[in-house]
Amino acid sequence: MTSSRTTKALIFAALAALLAGCQEKRDPGFQGWVEADMIFVSPDESGRVTKLNVREGDEVKPGDLLYTVDDDLQRADLNQNNASLANAQQTYDRAASLRGTGSGTQANLDSAVSALRIAEARVNTSQTRLDRRKGFAPIAGSIQQIYFREGEMVQAQRPVLSIMPPGNMKLRFFVPEKELPKLALGDEVKVTCDNCAADLTAKIYFIATTAEYTPPVIYSLDERNKLVYLIQARPSRPDALRVGQPISIYLNPKTPVAERR
């Protein structure tokens, strides 16, 4: 008899545990995606790309040469200004010599000094323009996209390529208005995606103060439920994610995750 009662008790306990498991609330999460703030590298002046030193996916560090643009015009400008500088230097030397012997005037010397300074400034400007025909990596990261290849013309201020620093990757998702009180800057959230590691997390660094959906002055409860706010978070392991990748965000990392179908 005792054995029968024990068996029934175990059965009831198993059924209770099963029922509790069925009733356990599973978090559906919030859908989002991966983005990044790119660093765009572009020439100051238009020209033809003559050399491309990197490919998409390459890792670069600050100072690495990325590309070069034809510099014929800049070299010609530098040569012309160097010639003008040489003439200005001769004029100054002559004016200084005459002033030293008393046969020259101070006004002529001052004019020669001014012309020399202007010529020096033009040479410096030309040298800077020539140096900037080479594009160097301003920051460490990976080459995300190349917009112009060797032989193609690129306009001034148009990026030749983009660099993605790991720290610039971000996760973007939207939450309903009723979920906002649960969020705070610095909160850690759980991140999941297809074929990703199980321990991905991110920290919230931005919470929008305005809704993406703007209701009329008077709105119903149903319309209010449509309000969503943009949230952005920095992933703890940016190397495990890819730009444009769809993700799911869970505000409470300990909440059981709903199975994806």
Note the pLDDT tens digit of each residue in 92-128: 999 999 988 888 888 999 999 999 999 999 999 999 9
Q: Is 25-37+166-250 assigned to CATH 1.10.10.10? A: no
pLDDT in tens, 240-249: 888 889 999 9
Rounded-to-integer distance, Cα 199 and Cα 192, Å = 8
pTM for the complete prediction?
Answer: 0.70
The pLDDT of residue 261 is: 44
CA atoms within 13 A on the CB side of 26: 10
Of 49-53, 157-161, 169-173, 213-217, which gets the smallest average pLDDT? Answer: 213-217
Q: Residue 143's closest CA among 34, 31, 58?
A: 58
72-101 vs 106-131: helix crossing angle, rounded to 10: 160
- Domain residue spans of the chain: 25-37+166-250, 71-132
4: confidence class by pLDDT, cuts 50, 70, 90: low
Name the token pair of 80: 């012309």
Name the token pair of 207: 């919470």
Q: Is 71-132 assigned to CATH 3.40.1350? A: no
